[in-house]
């Protein structure tokens, strides 16, 4: 692979709703550029960027992949991203490596829920973008209808620079509205159009689109606007230059046509990327921290070397593979750089550029380029590698927390021994995943962005690492608390041969505000209980509180004050007072109105507006409280607080209610009282489970 200068590089992310055809467009572009010898297909499972066995089996992009196309003596790094909500965190994390984005829209479905979400990601990263109306060869596809939909969502600055020749199965070419030329294609051909005259039935539409484009280009440029008013038109060269400026300043979003499946229009797509999207050197410098101060680092070869790792892949054969973007300087093969977070040294042996899962070796990579290297010792996603003399650190992308957790258990003892290691390997590459042990329920939990995400991880554990695990709904971490006060005595007296046991304490118990946990105070005066026995009383109460009173859940948010008692010079001991404290705790619970608490989650649902009524009704049925509503374009955002116990099946229910067009996120907010009816059911179930455990032991 040839080495390219910064100005000859383009880093472009393909983003859009799932099944809009991003991977097919990448496959077509790679074939048109000569990077592959034939047109690969998603349905055949042989595309360059959907190489993971889970992606092949499910026929969808799960993880971001990168492939390089060489076009007109320049280099284009195509970043193929996931489009389904479950895997969008990977898309968000990968956009940091791009200077521009192609928003791919299905010519049948139009703008979908995740299209708007990834558009908002591109806004966050301030990426210039264009819109590709793809799959125009499909039955019921319509360029005009989809364009109208695009403009209703993204505004009038989404303006066509292409018009399709033919529709559905007859889609065979594209009119270039800028140059007023037509190109026809052979379906499943090499992706290179043959120049021809604009068909007679499209001349009027092309002229109208050409005029609209000129007006839009001139609108944001005083010089061009003056010339347009003077002459009524603009020369082609000035249209091209004005469009380039408008795209890079995000004043315009050109709309293009394509069929990734039959490779129509991919050459014009590649031309557009080189002509209108910025090279890294034309974009704003990156901000980082150097010696405690925020500094800017431009994409220049002359600057000290620095690279940002934006993705990690755990390959069972190659080990850990790090995808990095060179921010400044020139990264050479076998370079020794400093891992800024740890201060350790990393040697970049066998650097290369990516073609899906394949790394093609290169001697060096210039500022702005994207590369990969295997087997770095400490480096993970979000880390910076830099020259020893200038250890700048770039901030990692902030990503939302996982929304759903499942309890995970190994099927066999052998699987149990290897599960932890295998899961941690996968954690290295998947930023959306969490693996932890719930200290209350004692379960291992695997948290992800959705059920499908967690199922993919379980499948990978088996296929990659031979670890068989089972998923089941997690136990709800209920807690217990009190609503009333109590003033009781705890007395433990036991006489055996020799020394007896004697402990006696009086305690007051009262509730504390939510989240206050536990408070213990000593108000004993006059030596009624020696000071050395006070910690034993506290320990006895803490141990009793951990086992709860109603259903075996930990007791929280209460205060205990020990204020009196008595002791025996010979028979009193720490154990005696600990047992007395336990008796006092149980006696207090009989008076203090114990009750159950349940975790309440902050839930945010994003769905098409037409489902809002059904979703709110469903939330109310789940004992949810609607906290707010907002509308963005055609998307309704519903915020609510819902008990965790009511959300265990929500993923599947939401999918069926909205035909898979909605998404949700969820995070813990606070604990609140369980209503009496539900509390009785939980207590009965907990007692039944305890009886079952005892019978099993016997």
pLDDT tens, residue by residue, 213-264: 988 888 877 777 777 677 777 888 888 999 999 999 999 999 999 998 889 9
Residues 378 and 306 in one domain: yes
DSSP 8-state secondary structure symbol assigned to residue 96: G
User: Measured between alpha carbons, how far is 112 from 108 in angstroms, rounded to an integer?
Assistant: 11
Cβ distance 327 to 304 under 8 Å? no
User: Measured between alpha carbons, how far is 192 from 33 in angstroms, rounded to an integer?
Assistant: 9
Read off the pLDDT of residues 131-185 as tens digits, 9 standing for 90 and up. 999 999 999 999 999 999 999 999 999 999 999 999 999 999 999 999 999 999 9
Say if 457 falls within a structural domain.
yes
Residues 124 and 256 in one domain: yes
Residues 315 and 350 in one domain: yes
Segments in 173-235 forming alpha helices (H):
203-219, 222-231
Residues 34 and 136 in one domain: yes
Say if 660 falls within a structural domain.
yes
pLDDT in the model for residue 8: 96
String of b and e for 234-255 (b: at least 16 CB within 10 Å)?
A: beeebbbbbbbbbbbeebbbbb
Residues 67 and 30 in one domain: yes
Residues 167 and 42 in one domain: yes
With a cut of 80, say whether residue 85 has pLDDT above it.
Answer: no
Place of tokens 């009173």: 549
CATH of the domain at 512: 3.30.230.10
Residues 324 and 373 in one domain: yes
Read off the pLDDT of residues 627-645 as tens digits, 9 standing for 90 and up. 999 887 677 889 999 998 8
- Residues 280-284, mean pLDDT to the nearest whole number: 92
pLDDT in the model for residue 672: 94
Segments in 531-668 forming alpha helices (H):
534-546, 574-591, 612-621, 650-658
pLDDT in the model for residue 56: 78
Of 609 and 250, the one with more pLDDT: 250
With a cut of 50, say whether residue 265 has pLDDT above it.
Answer: yes
Of 593 and 87, the one with more pLDDT: 593
User: Measured between alpha carbons, how far is 396 from 388 in angstroms, rounded to an integer?
Assistant: 20
User: Measured between alpha carbons, how far is 454 from 648 in angstroms, rounded to an integer?
Assistant: 14
Contacts of 291 (CB under 8 A, 6+ apart): none
Say if 670 falls within a structural domain.
yes
Question: CA-CA distances (angstroms) from residue 349 to 327, 366, 376, 389?
Answer: 19, 16, 9, 21
User: Measured between alpha carbons, how far is 370 from 389 in angstroms, rounded to an integer?
Assistant: 23
Place of tokens 């902050």: 602
Cβ distance 162 to 176 under 8 Å? yes
With a cut of 50, say whether residue 294 has pLDDT above it.
Answer: yes
Say if 151 falls within a structural domain.
yes
- Residues 386-413, mean pLDDT to the nearest whole number: 86
Q: Containing domain of residue 445, as a range? A: 404-466
> In terms of DSSP bridges, do strands 129-134 and 100-106 run parallel, antiparallel, or are they unpaired?
parallel
Confidence band of 280 (pLDDT split at 50, 70, 90): very high
pLDDT in the model for residue 633: 65
> In terms of DSSP bridges, do strands 129-134 and 253-257 run parallel, antiparallel, or are they unpaired?
parallel
Write out the DSSP string of 62-92. -S-EEEEEEETTEEEEEEE---SGGGHHHHH
pTM of the full predicted structure? Answer: 0.78
Say if 672 falls within a structural domain.
yes
Domains held by the chain: number: 5
Please choose, from the candidates 308, 331, 305, 322, the residue with its C-alpha nearest in 3D space to the C-alpha of residue 397.
Answer: 308
Share of the chain above pLDDT 70, in %: 98
Say if 475 falls within a structural domain.
no
With a cut of 60, say whether residue 698 has pLDDT above it.
Answer: no
- Residues 592-601, mean pLDDT to the nearest whole number: 93
Confidence band of 697 (pLDDT split at 50, 70, 90): very low
CATH of the domain at 410: 3.30.70.870
pLDDT in the model for residue 692: 56
pLDDT in the model for residue 330: 96
pLDDT in the model for residue 52: 78
Confidence band of 81 (pLDDT split at 50, 70, 90): very high
Confidence band of 322 (pLDDT split at 50, 70, 90): very high
Say if 105 falls within a structural domain.
yes
pLDDT in the model for residue 695: 47
Residues 533 and 624 in one domain: no
- Residues 402-410, mean pLDDT to the nearest whole number: 82
pLDDT in the model for residue 691: 66
Q: Both tokens of residue 91?
A: 């898309």
With a cut of 80, say whether residue 404 has pLDDT above it.
Answer: no
Residues 41 and 80 in one domain: yes
Domain stop point among 565, 592, 619: 592
CATH of the domain at 178: 3.40.50.300
> Residue 292, Cα to own-chain centre: how many angstroms?
29
Domain stop point among 546, 570, 592: 592
Q: What share of the chain is helix, strand, coil (3-state, %, to 5)?
A: 35, 30, 35
Say if 221 falls within a structural domain.
no
CATH of the domain at 382: 2.40.30.10
User: Measured between alpha carbons, how far is 155 from 163 in angstroms, rounded to an integer?
Assistant: 19
Question: CA-CA distances (angstroms) from residue 210 to 174, 536, 580?
Answer: 14, 86, 90
Read off the pLDDT of residues 468-503 as tens digits, 9 standing for 90 and up. 998 888 888 899 999 999 999 999 998 776 678 999
Read off the pLDDT of residues 556-582 as tens digits, 9 standing for 90 and up. 999 999 999 999 988 889 999 999 999
Share of the chain above pLDDT 90, in %: 59
Contacts of 213 (CB under 8 A, 6+ apart): 159, 160, 161, 177, 178, 239, 243
Residues 498 and 629 in one domain: no
End-to-end CA distance of the chain: 69
pLDDT in the model for residue 444: 87
Residues 308 and 447 in one domain: no
Domain stop point among 592, 616, 634: 592
CATH of the domain at 638: 3.30.70.240
- Residues 347-359, mean pLDDT to the nearest whole number: 91
Read off the pLDDT of residues 107-137 as tens digits, 9 standing for 90 and up. 998 988 789 889 989 999 999 999 999 999 9
Of 30 and 697, the one with more pLDDT: 30
pLDDT in the model for residue 525: 87
Give the best-scoring range by mean pLDDT among 61-65, 217-221, 297-301, 418-422. 297-301
Residues 358 and 416 in one domain: no
């Amino acid at each position: 692979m040839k080495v390219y200068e910064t100005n000859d590089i383009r880093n472009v992310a393909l983003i859009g709703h799932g099944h809009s055809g991003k991977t097919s467009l990448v496959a077509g572009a790679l074939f048109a550029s000569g990077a592959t010898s034939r047109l690969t297909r998603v349905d055949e499972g042989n595309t360059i960027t959907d190489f993971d066995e889970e992606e092949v089996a499910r026929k969808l992009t799960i993880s971001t992949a990168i492939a390089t196309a060489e076009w007109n003596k320049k280099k284009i790094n195509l970043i193929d991203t996931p489009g389904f909500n479950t895997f969008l965190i990977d898309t968000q994390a990968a956009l940091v490596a791009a200077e521009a984005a192609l928003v791919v829209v299905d010519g049948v479905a139009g703008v979908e829920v995740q299209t708007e979400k990834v558009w908002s990601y591109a806004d966050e990263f301030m990426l210039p973008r264009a819109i590709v109306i793809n799959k125009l060869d499909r039955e019921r596809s319509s360029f005009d209808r989809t364009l109208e939909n695009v403009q209703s969502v993204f505004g009038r600055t989404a303006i066509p620079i292409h018009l399709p020749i033919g529709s559905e199965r007859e889609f065979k070419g594209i009119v270039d509205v800028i140059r007023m030329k037509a190109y026809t294609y052979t379906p499943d051909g090499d992706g290179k159009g043959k120049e021809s005259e604009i068909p007679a039935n499209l001349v009027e539409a092309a002229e109208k689109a050409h005029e609209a484009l000129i007006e839009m280009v001139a609108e944001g440029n005083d010089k061009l606007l003056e010339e347009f008013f003077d002459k009524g038109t603009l020369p082609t060269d000035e249209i091209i230059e004005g469009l380039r400026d408008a795209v890079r300043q995000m004043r315009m979003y050109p709309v293009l046509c394509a069929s990734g499946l039959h490779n129509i229009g991919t050459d014009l797509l590649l031309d557009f990327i080189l002509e209108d999207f910025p090279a890294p050197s034309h974009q704003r410098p990156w901000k980082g921290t150097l010696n405690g101060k925020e500094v800017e680092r431009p994409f220049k070869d002359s600057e000290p070397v620095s690279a940002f790792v934006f993705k990690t892949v755990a390959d069972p054969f190659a080990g850990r593979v790090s995808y990095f973007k060179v921010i400044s300087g020139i990264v050479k093969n076998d370079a020794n750089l400093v891992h800024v977070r740890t201060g350790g040294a990393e040697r970049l042996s066998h650097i290369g550029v990516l073609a899906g899962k394949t790394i093609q070796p290169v001697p060096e990579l210039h500022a702005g380029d994207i590369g990969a290297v295997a087997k770095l010792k400490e480096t993970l996603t979000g880390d910076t590698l830099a020259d020893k003399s200038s250890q700048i650190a770039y901030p990692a992308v902030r990503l939302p927390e996982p929304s759903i957790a499942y309890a995970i258990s190994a099927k066999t003892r052998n699987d149990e021994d290897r599960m932890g290691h295998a899961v941690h390997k996968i954690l290295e590459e998947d930023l959306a995943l969490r693996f932890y042990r719930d200290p209350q329920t004692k379960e291992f939990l695997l948290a992800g962005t959705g059920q499908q995400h967690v199922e993919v991880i379980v499948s990978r554990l088996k296929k990659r690492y031979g670890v068989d695990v089972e998923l089941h709904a997690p136990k709800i971490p209920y807690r217990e608390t009190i609503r009333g006060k109590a003033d009781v005595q705890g007395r433990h007296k036991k006489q055996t041969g020799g020394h007896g046991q004697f402990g006696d304490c009086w305690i007051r118990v009262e509730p504390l505000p939510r989240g206050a946990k536990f408070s213990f105070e000593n108000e004993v005066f006059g030596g009624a209980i020696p000071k050395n026995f006070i910690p034993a009383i506290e320990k006895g109460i803490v141990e009793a509180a951990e086992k709860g009173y109603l259903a075996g859940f930990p007791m929280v948010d209460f205060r205990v004050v020990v204020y009196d008692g008595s002791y025996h010079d010979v028979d009193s001991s720490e154990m005696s007072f600990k047992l007395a404290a336990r008796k006092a705790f149980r006696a207090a619970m009989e008076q203090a109105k114990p009750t159950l608490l349940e975790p309440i989650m902050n839930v945010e649902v994003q769905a098409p507006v037409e489902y809002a009524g059904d979703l709110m009704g469903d939330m109310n049925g789940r004992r949810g409280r609607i906290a707010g509503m907002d509308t963005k374009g055609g998307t309704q955002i519903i915020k609510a607080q819902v008990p965790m116990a009511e959300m265990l099946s929500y993923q599947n229910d939401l999918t069926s209610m909205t035909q898979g067009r909605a998404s949700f996120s969820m995070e813990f907010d606070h604990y609140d009282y369980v209503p009496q009816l539900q509390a009785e059911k939980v207590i009965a179930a907990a007692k039944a489970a305890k009886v079952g455990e005892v019978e099993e032991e016997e």
